[in-house]
Amino acid sequence: MSTIRWEQEADGVVVLTFDDPDGSANTLRAAFLADLTGTVARLEAERDAISGVVLASAKRTFFAGADLGELRALRGAAVAGNGNGSPDAAAIERWSAEVKAPLRRLETLGRPVVAALGGSALGGGLELALAAHHRIAVDDPKIQLGLPEVTLGLLPGAGGIVRTVRMLGVVAALRDVLLPGTRHDPRSARQLGLVDELVATREQLIAAAKAWIAAHPDAAQPWDRPDHAIPGGARLAAVLPSLPADLRRRTKSFGNPAPYAIQAAAVEGAQVDVDSALTIEGRYFAGLVTSAVAGNMMQAFFFDLQRVNGTRGQAPGGEPARARKVVVLGSGMMGAGIAHVCAKAGIEVVLKDLTDEAAARGKAYSERLLAKAVERGGTTAEQAAELLGRITPTADPAAAAGADLVIEAVFEDPAVKAKVFAEIEPFLAPDALLGSNTSTLPISELAEGVSRPADFVGLHFFSPAEKMPLLEIIKGARTSETTVRRALDLARQIRKTPIVVNDARGFFTSRVIITFLNEGLAMLAEGIPAPTIEQASLQAGYPAPVLALNDELNLALLRRIREAARAAATAAGATWEPHPAEQVVDRMLDELDRGGRLAGAGFYDYEAGRRSGLWSGLRDAFPTVADPAGIPFEELVERMLFIEALETIRCRDEGVIESVADANVGSILGIGYPGWTGGVLQYVNGYDGGLPAFAARAQQLADRHGERFAPPASLLAAAASGAVYTDER
């Protein structure tokens, strides 16, 4: 067998070691499935000479799950249909059944089977382990165990729902494993019941597995015993009516059908025998695989994410650059968060501000984060103290001596930024990387304030920096490729997902999200009721309602950005087209004195800094249309999605965005574009009817709401040629 090694010693235990020769990880691809099916047949044939089976791995991970490349190919063939214009979901059902068959035969072999988890087991990898009668894992917090298929618009299609429901009960399986797609470390998996036993090292796994086999010669799955009852099954009828509402509350899964399919498969499967439940699971799986949402989410959260997190920018055979000492200029919330992220990655941090007291307040931000982490058990007091020891708060620029990285995070004013760089540069290492966290100011202009513009790059973090996974790297006109490569190496070092864009006012993420913010305000100016606007943005799948997000970002800041853009356009001789949102911002600031959360009043009321509800005066300040019920709700949803997608196309036309993967990943992870779309350009590619239908709908919106929705010439040309957006020009 090419992917599975068979070893049997005198004790009769067969150790099956998964070791795919064609990859760094074992995956559930066609070759492995064929080998597994043949191996199980051999186990059945030689059953009388076998005392037990151990499932092990020669890789660093136990098993990485399905081969999504092969699954995408299967999906493509199924979506192409069976000749009558409808997807061939039955083909996916058959594939799912072929995967499940050897697992079911393995767990009913009549011999004890143990999974020896020396590394991570996710998705199909954990489903494989769940078919064993006992699971032993190495007590290593880096190991991840879980069923994250929901994050790809899918459900576990190899028995994961059926087995977790029978192990944990419907409610616990849904809450702790299936719906959130949580990746558990071995200890939490042990507490939950996904793992039965822990050992200290990989070397102890096989011995522990053999010991369990010797002690349990008649092992069988609990659900294959006649007296088995699903945990909590007696009260399932009582909780069943509340499950849909609880699902909506927990997942906020607008646009993604996977959570609903998972819940349905779990509940329906709990009421029948195991084999029937596996069939039910397969039908729901097939329905999801052939859906457009699954195609979008697999593209974004696997293929695109894999590309942006890959090795681009790395010199062949070269060692990646590693920062050893960073100076963070500015200790506000963003600077403090960046300092925390760098210190967590093991980098020595100098947190510089105007006074020692201000810098100390920035370090206190990390102290609060770590205190909560210790309280929750996420870290130890010793580890927290070690991290804090790497942060030095100071007002003295000389503390930056020898630093090989500086990240500026001060007020959005070019003069202020130039001043802090001029103060700190004399103390840095001669080749230090110079980074600015600006969110909108052109990097090429800011580079004029440093002595080495070739070493200057935009490093745009997102708030809160310690939580948000994206880092937008912005190339200025004089930024060298070596500098971009070092910035990419930094992103990997501090465990951020990087996208790379070219310089422009607002870059990519800020420029695109402002169109979303403005569209919500334009709706308010048109007389759309504020609750309807907020509900439309939520049902589109955005993580925060649009008016609430305007409040969070501060209307005064949004006006400063607008006025800076207006001044730049005027200086360039361009005509400034007023946006309907401008009147809303100006009235909120100048007439109503409600600038947002920072001001304590905005579109929402605030109590102790927390939103307490939409401001009751909004209805009088911005009267609603005569017949709110006549507003096409779906059009409100599409306006938000379309306006960001159209601005992304313009960014691509202007060379701001070079990579479709960067656009898709950046829009989801950076600015909250709904995940079910697969990102801004995948939304266009996957629109029902393709680019021609998208362009036609954009023109309809332009006719109704203004030229900002007019399809760009490049979109019309692509639609006419039958193209989709790819990285090929």
CA distance 567 to 71: 51
In this model, does residue 84 exceed pLDDT 60?
A: no
Q: What is the pLDDT of residues 582-600, one digit of tens each?
A: 999 999 999 999 999 999 9
Mean local confidence (pLDDT), 357-363: 96
Q: Is 434 contained in some domain?
A: yes
Q: Is 201 contained in some domain?
A: yes
Pairwise pLDDT comparison (141 vs 79), residue with the higher score: 141
Going by C-alpha positions, the residue among 85, 186, 195 that lies closest to residue 144 is 186
Pairwise pLDDT comparison (1 vs 122), residue with the higher score: 122
CA distance 609 to 611: 7
> Is the domain of 329 the same as that of 396?
yes
* The pLDDT of residue 94: 92
CATH number of the domain residue 254 falls in: 3.90.226.10
> Is the domain of 341 the same as that of 208?
no
Q: Is 676 contained in some domain?
A: no
Q: What is the pLDDT of residues 381-440, one digit of tens each?
A: 999 999 999 999 999 999 999 999 999 999 889 999 999 999 999 999 999 999 999 988
CA distance 304 to 660: 8
> Is the domain of 111 the same as that of 253?
yes
End residue of a domain, out of 629, 660, 685:
629
What confidence category does residue 79 fall into, taking pLDDT thresholds of 50, 70 and 90?
A: confident
> Is the domain of 280 the same as that of 206?
yes
Mean local confidence (pLDDT), 709-714: 97
Please name every residue paired with 457 in a beta bridge, in sequence order, or none if there are none.
Answer: 435
* The pLDDT of residue 1: 58
- Convert 210-241 into a string of H (helix), E (strand) and C (coil): HHHHHHCCCCCCHHHCCCCCCCCHHHHHHHHH
Question: In sequence order, what are the residues at sequence separation of 6 or more whose Cβ sits closer than 8 angstroms to the Cβ of residue 253?
Answer: 247, 259, 260
> Is the domain of 177 the same as that of 201?
yes
* The pLDDT of residue 123: 94
Q: Is 125 contained in some domain?
A: yes
Mean local confidence (pLDDT), 265-289: 95
Please report, rounded to a whole number, the percentage of residues in the chain having pLDDT higher than 90: 81
End residue of a domain, out of 504, 523, 553:
504
Q: What is the pLDDT of residues 98-120, one digit of tens each?
A: 999 999 999 999 999 999 999 99
- 470-475 vs 52-57, strand pairing mode: unpaired
CA torsion, ordered 33, 36, 41, 44, to nearest 10 deg: -140
Q: Is 394 contained in some domain?
A: yes
Q: What is the pLDDT of residues 631-690, one digit of tens each?
A: 889 999 999 999 999 999 999 999 999 999 999 999 999 999 999 999 999 999 999 999
End residue of a domain, out of 591, 612, 629:
629
CATH number of the domain residue 584 falls in: 1.10.1040.50
What confidence category does residue 83 fall into, taking pLDDT thresholds of 50, 70 and 90?
A: low
* The pLDDT of residue 240: 72
> Is the domain of 457 the same as that of 520?
no
Number of structural domains (the chain) is 3
* The pLDDT of residue 415: 94
Question: In sequence order, what are the residues at sequence separation of 6 or more whose Cβ sits closer than 8 angstroms to the Cβ of residue 393?
Answer: 331, 351, 353, 356, 359, 360, 362, 363
Q: Is 360 contained in some domain?
A: yes
Taking all residues of the chain, what is their mean pLDDT, rounded to a whole number?
93
> Is the domain of 343 the same as that of 283?
no
* The pLDDT of residue 234: 60
Q: Is 306 contained in some domain?
A: no
* The pLDDT of residue 499: 97
Q: Is 224 contained in some domain?
A: no
Domain extent at residue 122 = 4-219+229-290
> Is the domain of 431 the same as that of 570?
no
Q: What is the pLDDT of residues 248-270, one digit of tens each?
A: 766 665 788 999 999 999 999 99
> Is the domain of 125 the same as that of 237?
yes
Residue bearing tokens 């089976």? 53
> Is the domain of 368 the same as that of 456?
yes
> Is the domain of 58 the same as that of 192?
yes
**Measured in Å, how far apart are the chain's first and last C-alpha atoms?**
43
In this model, does residue 285 exceed pLDDT 70?
A: yes
CA distance 264 to 283: 11
* The pLDDT of residue 469: 95
Q: Taking a C-beta distance cutoff of 8 angstroms, is the pair 405, 490 a contact?
A: yes
* The pLDDT of residue 253: 56
C-alpha dist (Å) from residue 320 to 485, 491, 695: 9, 11, 43
> Is the domain of 368 the same as that of 403?
yes
C-alpha dist (Å) from residue 291 to 13, 295, 298, 565: 43, 7, 11, 41
